[in-house]
Amino acid sequence: MMEGHNVVLDTFAVALLFGAPGAGKGTQAAYLAETLRIPHIASGDLLRYHRAAGTLLGRTAQSFMDRGSLVPDALVVEMIVQRLDQPDARRGGLLDGFPRTYGQAIELDERLGERGGEVRIALHLDVPPRALVERLAGRWTCQRCQSVYHERFNPPRPDFTCAVCRGVLIQRADDRREIVERRVRIFQRETVPAIRHYETQGILRRIDGDRPIDGVRASLLATLADVESFELAS
């Protein structure tokens, strides 16, 4: 964490992190959430948790996820709203991977409104599509804590255990090339309209994600510090 700069959300407000599959959301999100002092809520991680636990939601989501399709909006919205109702999300959360469609964005705005909250800022980690497939192909994910590594850009330990929790690193089934290409197409078709929705509201900030991890991190922090409604504490 960068010393001396903690960005805090003052009321119940949500920050969104958008990015195509492979844009680096997972790598940046934990750090950002820590900086904002709000929980990191990743829809993909929650769904994988439900799968591992064998819940009805997990079993329903499985086939959509393995072929790179989106899980139906209604299921994902309920899952996220329930998560936002947990005590640790009293002040909000950093949503990563949600909303993924225009319908989810509208529903999120409505549900937050009912709770006296709002989306305060939407960050888009922008990476050109050609770079995405290469990034995902070398990606390794911790089975336990979901930390992500990359053979070239963020190498894992030689024994392929997680540097954070010592869990076993695996290559996700949906990181296979043909599935990745499908996920990128779905991002363009379904998620870009959700991003535009926040652009229209004037709360979207685009960050060039096609750079080394530290540079992207610094830009994200500078962007957050630049937003009037964020208070910088030392």
What CA–CA distances, in Å, run from 70 to 32, 39, 43, 166, 183? 25, 23, 11, 30, 9
Member of 100, 120, 139, 217 binding ligand AMP (CB under 6 A): 100
Q: Which is nearer to ligand AMP, 36 or 180 (CB)?
A: 180
For residue 183, give both structure tokens: 């996920």
| DSSP string over 59-121 | HHHHHHHHTTPPPPHHHHHHHHHHHHTSGGGTTEEEEES---SHHHHHHHHHHHHHTT-EEEE
Q: Scan residues 170-199 and list those touching ligand AMP (CB under 6 A).
A: 174, 183
- Note whether 122 binds ligand AMP by CB under 6 A: no
- Note whether 21 binds ligand AMP by CB under 6 A: yes
- Note whether 220 binds ligand AMP by CB under 6 A: no
Peptide bond connecting 99 to the previous residue in cis, omega within 30 degrees of 0: yes
Q: Which is nearer to ligand AMP, 91 or 182 (CB)?
A: 182
Q: Which is nearer to ligand AMP, 65 or 221 (CB)?
A: 65
Give the residues lining the site for ligand AMP (CB under 6 A).
Answer: 21, 43-44, 47, 64-65, 68-71, 76, 97-98, 100, 104, 174, 183
Could you list the active site residues? Answer: 25, 100, 139, 172, 183
